[in-house]
Structure 1
Amino acid sequence: MVFFETLVLVHGRFPAAETKLLMKEASRVIVERDGALFRILDLGWRHTARPLHKKGVGHIFYGRWYSLIWGGSPKLKQEVEDTFVHNTGVVRQKTVRI
């Protein structure tokens, strides 16, 4: 089992209920593929160093950061990233191996 940390920036106009569902969906993807989710950490609201542009949303100057610490196969990394890439609320996401 390889361990990963995924950092996710959700923009400020994305509803809190949908953010909760997004985190549940990511945890479901990890657990269904024989992975283990160790922690979902809410890092709070932060301003970005420069404005970010997301098509269909506009310019983003702040958002809410989340950190997911999980373990699984290296093939699972792409599936978790796809979960966040195809969501309109996620502005940026980065998965790194720990």
Structure 2
Amino acid sequence: MEKNKLYECTVIIDGGLQDEAITAAMELVQRVITEKGGSISGVLEIGRRKTAYPIKKRTIGYYAHIEFTGAPGVIAEIEKVLRYEEDLLRYLIIQLTGALLEMRKRVEKYSVVIGSPEDVAALEAAASEAAAK
């Protein structure tokens, strides 16, 4: 029996669609993942953004990330269904390895939203502390 692994599926849905169609496309992707044996642990919907280059003659996409666990053999089955979905401009499924998860923790640890003088001082203190090491 294959051990379940952690994956992330990034999708770009046609941003020119109505909100209801985008919601339906997101539900379809999530349903495909769960029907094929995946277990969704988190969904991050970023929203509409301009694409870096035209994809299928579209320049606006609706971006989302779905974190899930599943057996390695399930990925091919999920991709087989997503490949023929017309509303999806692009999709990418990657395995989240230990090194990648560690890098994400470090980025979250040192990310500070700058807005007040206290935030700027905290960022400068963290930078000088990191430089001293």
TM-score range relative to shorter protein: 0.7 to 0.9
Unmatched 5+ residue regions in structure 2?
A: 97-133
CA distance in 2: counterparts of 1:87 and 1:49, whole angstroms: 21
The one-letter code matched in structure 2 to 1:48 is: T
**Alignment match of 1:36 (pick from 25, 34, 39):** 39
Q: 1:64 corresponds to which residue?
A: 62
Aligned sequence identity (%): 24
Structure whose CA Rg is larger: 2
CA distance in 2: counterparts of 1:51 and 1:22, whole angstroms: 20
Residues 1:25 and 2:28 are matched in the alignment: yes
In the TM superposition, residue 78 of structure 1 has moved relative to its aligned partner by: 1.4
The one-letter code matched in structure 1 to 2:89 is: V
In the TM superposition, residue 24 of structure 1 has moved relative to its aligned partner by: 2.4
Moved segments of 4+, more than 6 Å: none
- Do the aligned partners of residues 28 and 49 (structure 1) sit closer, same or farther apart at CA in structure 2, a change above 3 Å counting? closer
In the TM superposition, residue 76 of structure 1 has moved relative to its aligned partner by: 1.0
Structure with more relative contact order (C-alpha pairs < 8 Å, separation 6 or more):
1
1:72-92: CA deviations, max 9, x gaps?
001111122223211111111
Q: 2:51 corresponds to which residue?
A: 48
- The structure that is strand-richer by fraction is 1
| RMSD of equivalent CA atoms | 1.6
Q: In the alignment, is the contact (CA less than 8 A) between 1:29 and 1:79 conserved in 2?
A: no
Query: Number of aligned pairs?
Result: 93
- Do the aligned partners of residues 78 and 14 (structure 1) sit closer, same or farther apart at CA in structure 2, a change above 3 Å counting? farther
In the TM superposition, residue 9 of structure 1 has moved relative to its aligned partner by: 0.4
Unmatched 5+ residue regions in structure 1?
A: none
CA distance in 1: counterparts of 2:30 and 2:84, whole angstroms: 16
